[in-house]
């Protein structure tokens, strides 16, 4: 097992070295903490809403213990609401996961403001090493290779919008191939009585990262950054007319995003030849897709709404 851990560390270290960047978008979670440890000379940038989110204490701990340069950009509620139309214009979606995209948008905006042209992200680690709890009971031997061939990350869209290069070491072909070769039982496994994802990644960096960082639970970006608090703010701004829109909604704040979508994007694109229709918004979805990128509808692998 030690040889495997060493191979994983070496593969990621080489990927970081071959992915030159000027700043790491840093949550303090496992994935970006690994990158920060491997590229300790790079400054780190943490984005959070006003009073911070659940990630900030972790980011500060890692920065302190590894001697990292950490910049924290606190975004006001007013700034976040003002940026929503542009984020929707870039992403062309009214997915209720937009608070995640807001955090990433401000990361790119702040990095560009600071003069950086290349940013490193932790994209791909959760997908390749089973970091999401919904994956724990799936057939990972078939699901992760399927997912690996379809992974798309909004960082690429924001990078293009801001004219910045995006470095994603976990998506390096050598790292991807190593991850795909690992048996599922090394990705989802019990540790100290708790079932965790990314087990092999956590074990490989024990001793390099503080134990609380290695074994912390997975937090959605919007929760870690605190942008989830926008949901109540946005929901309070809704009108009866918003709820009367001719699409189905499944989140309390989504009608507001749809209103902005109509203003800055326009009509929902209908299915193209060969596509099927999203049952919630009517947009086109590829035949094998489980997720609508326009409204965020997801049917999961069992065909049910998730």
* pLDDT given for residue 33 in this prediction: 97
What whole-number distance in Å separates Cα of residue 268 and Cα of residue 281?
Answer: 8
pLDDT for position 300 = 59
CB atoms within 10 A of CB 77: 14
Return the pLDDT at 250. Answer: 86
Intervals of the chain under pLDDT 70: 300-306
- Please state, in angstroms and rounded to a whole number, the distance separating the CA atoms of residues 255 and 232: 13
- For residue 138, the SS3 value is coil
Cβ pair 33, 209 in contact under 8 A: yes
For residue 77, the surrounding DSSP H or E stretch is helix 77-91
CA–CA distance, 31 with 233 (Å, rounded to integer) = 30
Question: What 3-state class would DSSP assign to 285?
Answer: strand
Domains of the chain: 2-228 (3.40.50.620), 230-285 (no CATH)
CA distance 160 to 57: 31
**Number of Cβ atoms within 10 Å of the Cβ of 108:** 25
Closest CA to 65 of 36, 45, 107: 36
pTM over 0.75: yes
Report in angstroms the alpha-carbon separations of 13 from 35, 40, 208. Answer: 8, 11, 13
Q: Record the tokens describing residue 227, joined without a space.
A: 């942008």
Looking at residue 306, what is its pLDDT?
37
pLDDT at 302: 41
> Radius of gyration over alpha carbons of the chain, in Å?
20
Q: Which two tokens stand for residue 45?
A: 């940038």
In Å, how far are 143, 260, 271 from 257, measured between CA atoms?
A: 31, 5, 21
Q: Looking at residue 276, what is its pLDDT? A: 93
């Amino acid at each position: 097992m030690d040889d495997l851990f060493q191979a994983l560390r070496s593969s990621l270290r080489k990927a970081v070295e071959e992915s030159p960047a000027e700043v790491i978008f840093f949550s303090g979670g496992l994935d970006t903490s690994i990158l920060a440890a491997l590229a300790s000379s790079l400054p780190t940038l943490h984005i959070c809403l006003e009073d911070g989110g659940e990630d900030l204490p972790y980011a500060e701990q890692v920065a302190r213990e590894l001697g990292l340069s950490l910049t924290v950009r606190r975004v006001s509620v007013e700034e976040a609401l003002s940026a929503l139309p542009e984020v929707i214009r870039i992403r062309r979606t009214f997915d209720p996961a937009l608070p995640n995209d807001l955090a990433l948008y401000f990361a790119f905006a702040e990095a560009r403001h600071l003069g950086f042209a290349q940013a490193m992200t932790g994209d791909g680690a959760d997908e390749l090493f089973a970091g999401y709890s919904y994956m724990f009971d799936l057939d990972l031997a078939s699901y992760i290779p399927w997912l690996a061939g379809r992974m798309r990350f909004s960082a690429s869209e924001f990078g293009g919008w801001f004219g910045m290069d995006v470095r994603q070491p976990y998506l390096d072909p050598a790292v991807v191939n190593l991850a795909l070769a690992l048996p599922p039982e090394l990705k989802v496994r019990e540790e100290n009585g708790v079932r965790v994802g990314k087990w092999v990644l956590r074990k490989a960096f024990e001793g390099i990262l503080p134990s609380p960082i290695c074994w912390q639970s997975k937090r959605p970006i919007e929760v870690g950054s605190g942008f989830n608090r926008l949901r109540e703010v946005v929901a309070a701004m809704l009108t009866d007319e918003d709820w009367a829109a001719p699409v189905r909604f499944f989140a309390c704040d989504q009608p507001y995003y749809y209103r902005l979508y109509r203003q800055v994007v326009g009509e929902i694109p209908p299915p193209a030849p060969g596509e099927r229709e999203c049952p919630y918004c009517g947009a086109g979805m590829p035949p094998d897709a489980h997720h609508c990128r326009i409204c965020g509808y997801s049917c999961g692998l069992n065909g049910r709404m998730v």
